[in-house]
Amino acid sequence: MMIATACTSVSAQSDAFSYTDESFADIQMLRYKVEGFENLTLRQKTLVYYLSEAALWGRDMFWDQNGRYNLRIRRAFEKIYTSYQGDRESADFRAFELYLKRTWFSSGIHHHYGSEKFQPEFSEAWLREALKQTGATLDEEIFPVIFNPAVAAMRTNQRDGDDLVQTSAVNFYGPNVTQAEAEKFYAQRKATADPHPIMMGYNSRLVKDADGVLREDVWRACGLYGTAINKIIENLRLARPFCDTPKQQAVIDKLIEYYLTGDLRTFDEYSILWLKDTEDLVDFVNGFTETYDDPLGMKGSYESIVNFKDLEATKRTEKLSKNAQWFEDHSPVDPRFRKEEVKGVSAKVITAAILAGALHPSTAIGINLPNSDWVRKDYGSKSVTIGNLTDAYNKAARGSGMAQEFVIDDATRQLIEQYGDVCDDLHTDLHECLGHGSGRLLPGTDPDSLKAYGAAIEEGRADLFGLYYVADPKLVELGLTPNLDAYKSQYYTYMQNGLLTQLVRIKPGNTIEEAHMRNRSFIAHWALEHGKDKKVVELVKRKGKTYVRINDYEALRGLFGELLAEVQRIKSEGDYEAARALVETYGVQVDAELHKEILARYERLHLAPYKGFINPVYTAVRDSEGRITDIRVSYNEGYAEQMLRYSRDYNALPDVN
């Protein structure tokens, strides 16, 4: 990834709501709008309010999970930040402020994405002086943690050959526990055959006591992080009466039971109740969830999102699901590879109301839970896309200069401006609701026969299904696209991304490795090559800059259909050689000269490669008896202001846990 140097904040849009806020280091702060909140009933708004409170009370747990010194550093630094009387314009103070902003963003002193420790650009002497002046304190052992690059260098170290537990700063294991000890501890417990295995180690820290015995400190009401967990339980109890259905109350009851006991079997029961609850408008995730931060991939990082169904957007996915059979029957693939009877997956589109823990400020735009393999196999999972976050990214990208720099002409830019968002959402819906579910394997084909190329082929298949159908008159008939020109916006941006702009995420000299990037690359390059004779798509140079030019959109649709048929054949027959040839020929290699040009053009735009969100603020309006009469939402809290308020109002844990 490229690091853009600090740039001044992008100017606010003319309307009252601004999607972009300040930027610093490699970060651009954005805001999201909770569209439709005012249309919820008072009951639903109150439910969102208490679930949001529950979400935020878990924040300090995530900080502590990310490193055992994080809370102490944050508290001392926030005291300096709010009460320092020295020169706040000095280089040291400004470097200190930048360090604190980055630390807030990562919920700790390591980069949220790369995991490497931040190197402060203020001096240790300055920090000692500032601590003294403000009356803040910091244990002596913490200075090397901040200043010595060799101490706690990585939050999560994945380098093969290292002791991953000892060399990772995450606080999932006691300081004297080794990787071998942790692996042995869990291997012994996993040995018993269990058709419904719990997520071993999911909600605890593994520690070693004085006589060398390993045990788990479980994160539960009467255990580790108990003070935070009890605040979460308190707010779940306040939320419970405002659920729309008894089904959702049962979900909350089970979650409370799990937080009280820490029993992972109860957690599985909770997950099953949660994934089956698809009718309630308001929904939420609250708990120890994803395991990416643990080098051994077992411990769940705390996260929470509160959301409600986007009924308009979900209508869109329902229209597609209802017509799933029509799409299957009319697809350009060989009838032998089509499904005789398809069931559309109704993935819902949601509006995020609050993000917390591992989902804040940096976040995901889609969630598919639970993570337990046996629960997924026996009961399925709940899949959501977060519409208002995608929308915020799109709106923020508008002023970024990308379109000005990379789109060939004004007419195409206007097309994208007009239809880009609609067709982008539709392409995603077609990909998720129909694409992945379409087609079938021939009897006897091993589903794993494409091996390492399986993911790129599967993503390419879903993308091609979406590309082929986004241009279909059927979508106009269903009222999903406004006319027969709109799809061209999607064709242009897809080709531009696959041939040019996605290269900004690749370092010079590297090839394309990630499955989604490979699939976009092979689709775009295959279409470029196979439309060459008829000049369907071209790469043209103007004043030394390369652009995509699409001369014949209809012919391009024909090429996408042709490739869809071939990719479906590869998948249905399990043709490994053809998969390898397609991906390796068109999906992996990078033209070094073109890459250099794209990187240089991108760098001149000074865009921050990482983005995150400032949350909205919810305020309860109460009558004289203390009853809630309304919940108001506002969007004008600043980034530092929000972080400081969270630290003050959701101060759930002691310094050392």
The number of C-alpha atoms within 13 Å of 202 and in the hemisphere containing its C-beta is 21
| Secondary element (H or E) of residue 233 | helix 226-239
Q: Rounded to the nearest whole angstrom, what is the least distance from the CB of residue 454 to Zn ion in the complex?
A: 12
Q: Rounded to the nearest whole angstrom, what is the least distance from the CB of residue 254 to Zn ion in the complex?
A: 31
From first CA to last CA, the distance across the chain in angstroms is 35
Structure-token pair, residue 231: 């605040």
Our CB check for Zn ion shows the closer of 53 and 459 to be: 459
Our CB check for Zn ion shows the closer of 430 and 556 to be: 430
Q: Rounded to the nearest whole angstrom, what is the least distance from the CB of residue 516 to Zn ion in the complex?
A: 8
Q: Rounded to the nearest whole angstrom, what is the least distance from the CB of residue 324 to Zn ion in the complex?
A: 16
Our CB check for Zn ion shows the closer of 272 and 462 to be: 462
How many Å apart are CA 481 and CA 478, to the nearest integer?
Answer: 8
The CA–CA distances, whole Å, from 393 to 80, 364, 505, 516, 613 equal 33, 12, 17, 19, 10
CB contact set of 167 (below 8 Å; sequence gap of 6+): 153, 154, 157, 159
Q: Rounded to the nearest whole angstrom, what is the least distance from the CB of residue 436 to Zn ion in the complex?
A: 6
The number of C-alpha atoms within 13 Å of 317 and in the hemisphere containing its C-beta is 25
Q: Rounded to the nearest whole angstrom, what is the least distance from the CB of residue 462 to Zn ion in the complex?
A: 5
Our CB check for Zn ion shows the closer of 21 and 463 to be: 463
| Vertex 182: Cα angle to 178 and 185 (nearest 5) | 140
Q: Which residue number is nearest to Zn ion in terms of Cβ?
A: 462
Q: Rounded to the nearest whole angstrom, what is the least distance from the CB of residue 347 to Zn ion in the complex?
A: 11
Our CB check for Zn ion shows the closer of 254 and 461 to be: 461
Our CB check for Zn ion shows the closer of 392 and 430 to be: 430
How many Å apart are CA 487 and CA 422, to the nearest integer?
Answer: 9
Our CB check for Zn ion shows the closer of 460 and 558 to be: 460
Q: Rounded to the nearest whole angstrom, what is the least distance from the CB of residue 261 to Zn ion in the complex?
A: 37
Q: Rounded to the nearest whole angstrom, what is the least distance from the CB of residue 519 to Zn ion in the complex?
A: 9
Q: Rounded to the nearest whole angstrom, what is the least distance from the CB of residue 49 to Zn ion in the complex?
A: 34
Our CB check for Zn ion shows the closer of 462 and 614 to be: 462
Our CB check for Zn ion shows the closer of 310 and 459 to be: 459
How many Å apart are CA 415 and CA 160, to the nearest integer?
Answer: 48
Our CB check for Zn ion shows the closer of 306 and 462 to be: 462
Buried b (16+ CB within 10 A) or exposed e, 447-485: eebbeebbbbbbbbbbbbbbbbbbbbeebeeeebbeeee
The CA–CA distances, whole Å, from 642 to 137, 614, 637 equal 23, 8, 6
Our CB check for Zn ion shows the closer of 424 and 459 to be: 459
Backbone angles phi, psi at 104, to 5 degrees: -55, -45
Our CB check for Zn ion shows the closer of 54 and 426 to be: 426
Strand 545-550, strand 537-542: pairing:
antiparallel
How many Å apart are CA 177 and CA 158, to the nearest integer?
Answer: 17
Our CB check for Zn ion shows the closer of 172 and 465 to be: 465
Q: How far is CA 197 from the centre of its chain?
A: 27
Q: Rounded to the nearest whole angstrom, what is the least distance from the CB of residue 459 to Zn ion in the complex?
A: 5
How many Å apart are CA 21 and CA 30, to the nearest integer?
Answer: 5
Return the amino acid letter for 613: F
Structure-token pair, residue 485: 């020109």
How many Å apart are CA 165 and CA 161, to the nearest integer?
Answer: 12
Q: Rounded to the nearest whole angstrom, what is the least distance from the CB of residue 636 to Zn ion in the complex?
A: 37
Name the residues that contact Zn ion, by CB under 5 A: 459, 462
DSSP, collapsed to helix, strand or coil, labels residue 59 as helix
Q: Rounded to the nearest whole angstrom, what is the least distance from the CB of residue 159 to Zn ion in the complex?
A: 29
Of 515, 511, 373, 381, the residue nearest 451 (C-alpha)? 515
DSSP 463-483: HHHHHHHHT-HHHHHTTSSSS
Structure-token pair, residue 269: 């029961």
- In this structure, what DSSP letter does residue 242 have? G
Our CB check for Zn ion shows the closer of 433 and 556 to be: 433
The CA–CA distances, whole Å, from 355 to 70, 347, 349, 617 equal 20, 20, 16, 11
Strand 382-386, strand 537-542: pairing:
unpaired
Q: Rounded to the nearest whole angstrom, what is the least distance from the CB of residue 30 to Zn ion in the complex?
A: 24
